Structure 1
């Protein structure tokens, strides 16, 4: 796959996580829309789940505590991965990948990809490659599920970057069917009315 470059590399994210006040997007816990979605997933199927750009990976922690055994975290910066390992000592070390999402082997197939602020962390020029890589990493009929900011964040010079419904529709339409694409009804108060809950199914 062609290399996707960005000024927001591992060193950039390591510095942001290490600097107090520079991780303002971090909710400190799993957000209610994803918690509600995870709570209704059938545990018996044990899907293979990827959480790219996971940061401190509260979603991975929650899924693990629910009993999902095949949750993989991919994150550029070392610090949040180390924090997850301390918070959840029995989380499989082999499932903590310090890796560039765009360089993951498309032979690594997943049933479910979870989106939680990762798209907003990417340089806008990377978004088409993000949508394409999500499709490559999912098995047929696999799903991309998560939250997208429905806010332009005008003038943002560094992450998080916002977006609009129309932009996301154009971005994902070549690869996915839209199962659910609506304003989240149970967002955190600070994000209420400003994020979309999406469930997209690979064609």
Structure 2
């Protein structure tokens, strides 16, 4: 798939990470809905997991602590990848990908793709391509799991961008079966009632 151009490029994200107060989406830890999901995953199966647009990648850190050894983190900006490497020294360096999600074409598909504030960080016009690329990166039976903001951010001219479940359903329906697609019951307090927990499976 061709790279989808965007004003929110590597330099943009590097600057946001480097500027205090400009990473308001960063919860500083794995959020409760994803933590609960990760806790029930079978470590023995060692699935291949991709976390795109991972930022500071607390989810990757938590999965690594649980014993998952095939977790790949991809981000456009080097700063958050370097921070993860410093925070978790034994995280496999070869699994830190400085890369454009839309240009990824790995030799082996993934079993699980984790969505955590990446979808809201891309330009809204990229959303159809995001859904298509998620499907392309997963094996048949693979899952896209994560959280999407089910709210609008008034006047937003830069990330995060909101939306509605009806809008999102239209993007994913051509590529996935919907196993779960509803308001998260265990969101962080500041996000309660405003985010969807999704579990979508590639046929």
CA distance in 1, matches of 2:129, 2:185: 29
Instruction: Say which is worse superposed, 107-116 or 18-27, in terms of deviation.
Output: 107-116
Give 2:164's aligned residue: 164
The CA deviation string for residues 66-121 of structure 1, in whole angstroms up to 9 with x for no partner, is 00000000000000000000110000000000000001015441000000000000
Q: Which runs of 5+ in 2 are unaligned?
A: none
Question: Is 1:13 matched up with 2:13?
Answer: yes
Contact 2:3 2:100 in 1 (8 A): no
Q: CA–CA distance in 2 between the matches of 1:106 and 1:138?
A: 10
Q: How many residue pairs are counted as aligned between the two chains?
A: 203
Aligned to 1:130: 130
Q: Decide whether the 8 Å contact of 1:107 with 1:137 is kept in 2.
A: no
Identify the residue that residue 190 of structure 2 maps to in structure 1. Answer: 190
Q: Measure how far apart 1:153 and its partner are.
A: 1.1
Q: Which residue of 2 aligns with 1:75?
A: 75
1:111-122 correspondence to structure 2 within 5 Å: 111-122=111-122
2:141 matched to 1:145? Answer: no
Residue 33 of structure 1 is matched in structure 2 by 33
Inter-partner Cα distance in structure 2 for 1:19 and 1:84: 18
Aligned CA RMSD, in angstroms, stands at: 0.7
State the SS of the aligned residue for 1:20.
Answer: coil
Matched, 1:64 2:64: yes
Question: Which blocks of at least 5 consecutive residues in structure 1 are unaligned?
Answer: none
Q: CA deviation at 1:155?
A: 1.5
For residue 23 of structure 2, give the secondary structure of its aligned residue in structure 1. Answer: coil
TM superposition score normalised by structure 1 = 0.99
Deviations 1:25-65 (A, max 9, x none): 00000000000000000111100000000000000000000
CA shift, 1:154, in A, is 2.4
